[in-house]
Amino acid sequence: MRKTHVAAIIAVLAFFGLFIGNFGQYQLAAMPIAVFTKLGLTSQQFASIMTAPMMLSIVLSFVSGSLMDKFGIKPVVAVGFILSSIGFIIRPFATTYSVMLIAMILTGLGCCIFNANMSKIVGQLFPAQMVGRIIGVIMLGATVSMTAAYSTAVFFPTLEIAFWFSAGFSVVVMLAWFVLVSTKALKGDGAARETSVPIKEAIGHAAKSKDIWFMGLAFAFMLGGIMVTSTFQPLALITLRGFSESYANSFATTLTIGNIAGTFIGPFLVLRAKRMKPFLVAILIIAVVCTVFMIEMPPAFMYGASFILGFVRSAFITIVISFPFFFKGIGPKYAGTAGGITSSLMVLGAVVIPTYIVAPLAKDFHQYFWAAAVCMALCLVFTLLMTDIKKVQPEA
């Protein structure tokens, strides 16, 4: 099989891997009453199972980046897909918080590996000028899945049936990875072939980059804010505004449609800018404003704010996630490990901020969203500290 065909197959499977990982996660947010009833949860427990797919990722993102630099794409991703499928199969049988927590932790491992190594995988398989656009298309898998989760919840008669659907989808993606991805083709001719990098060397080199740490902290606060709003938006509208579950989900669906638009359009917009940093600062300011008023507006304005917020957040992530491939001193050689560092910080924020800071300390849903706006503002601060990426060739 030609390497170009393998690259396309990997991109498609990465899309569906991100799709099912996020779809399964956001099924919980789309069906909150059923989840609370079945498991008898508190708000903090609900936040913890929503963020559970990212818990092991705090460490595994870092490790998986180094392992992929050493062993290559196929075996590392395969392990993630296997463990994710096991988690999805456990979910329908979960009747307690602890079992569901374990299942949800496992479901996130496939996404974790792809997120940590997105820059490495795409940069290795596609020309440098296509990296941003290909990542944008792959990241659509995550954003489309959120829209699908919120809009299809009404069609599943029970929570168990919804969970079995996700389990079946996950197993299909796992099997497709084993059958369709050729390790031999990945090691074929070309400048972008896989090379073995000593793990200690890769970690030491990537960890010296200030830009990697600034990027990771920006992602930590961005994902922390996203998880607060995504987890509690429908529940807040049901509780505070008296909306039905399907009506509340319509606002979350609108936000995820904005995610899709931002993922697809963001990289094309930034290509028109001479420098990326002013563009990123502008969209983060918009994110702060929209987050503050997200559940307080009249419905018509809330739809608009939800769409805009989804757009700018997704555009930011899609653009910035490719930065390690272009940072001075990182490039394709250390991009996997560098992506592991940034992804570890990202999921640390996504888990710790909503579960252990906002949920226990915020007194009401209004404060949840004010806290999320503060996260967007802190993301802006660390974005300002990063080197402004120009239209450059990646480091060798």
Contacts for 300 with CB less than 8 Å, ≥ 6 apart: none
Does residue 50 form part of some domain?
Answer: yes
Does residue 395 form part of some domain?
Answer: no
pTM here is: 0.72
pLDDT at 194 over 70: no
pLDDT at 360 over 90: no
Task: Tell me what pLDDT residue 389 has.
Answer: 67
Does residue 190 form part of some domain?
Answer: no
Phi/psi at 158 (nearest 5 deg)? -140, 160
pLDDT at 182 over 60: yes
Q: What is the mean pLDDT of residues 167-196?
A: 72
pLDDT at 191 over 60: no
Query: Can you tell me whether residue 261 is helix, strand or coil?
Result: helix
Q: Which residues of 248-275 are buried (b: 16+ CB within 10 A; e: fewer)?
A: bbbbbbbbbbbbbbbbbebbeebeeeee
Name the more confident of 366 and 388: 366
Does residue 392 form part of some domain?
Answer: no
Burial class (CB in 10 A: 0-12, 13-18, 19+), 370: middle
Domain count, the chain: 1
Q: What is the mean pLDDT of residues 137-156?
A: 85
> How distant, in Å, are the alpha carbons of 88, 102, 252 from that of 39?
17, 14, 23
pLDDT at 136 over 60: yes
Task: Tell me what pLDDT residue 171 has.
Answer: 97
Does residue 376 form part of some domain?
Answer: yes
Task: Tell me what pLDDT residue 169 has.
Answer: 96
Does residue 232 form part of some domain?
Answer: yes
Q: What is the pLDDT of residues 298-323, one digit of tens each?
A: 999 999 999 999 999 989 988 887 78
Residue-number span of the structural domain to which 259 is assigned? 3-185+195-385
What CATH number does the domain containing 14 carry?
1.20.1250.20
Name the more confident of 5 and 295: 295
Least confident residue range of 26-35, 86-95, 262-271? 262-271
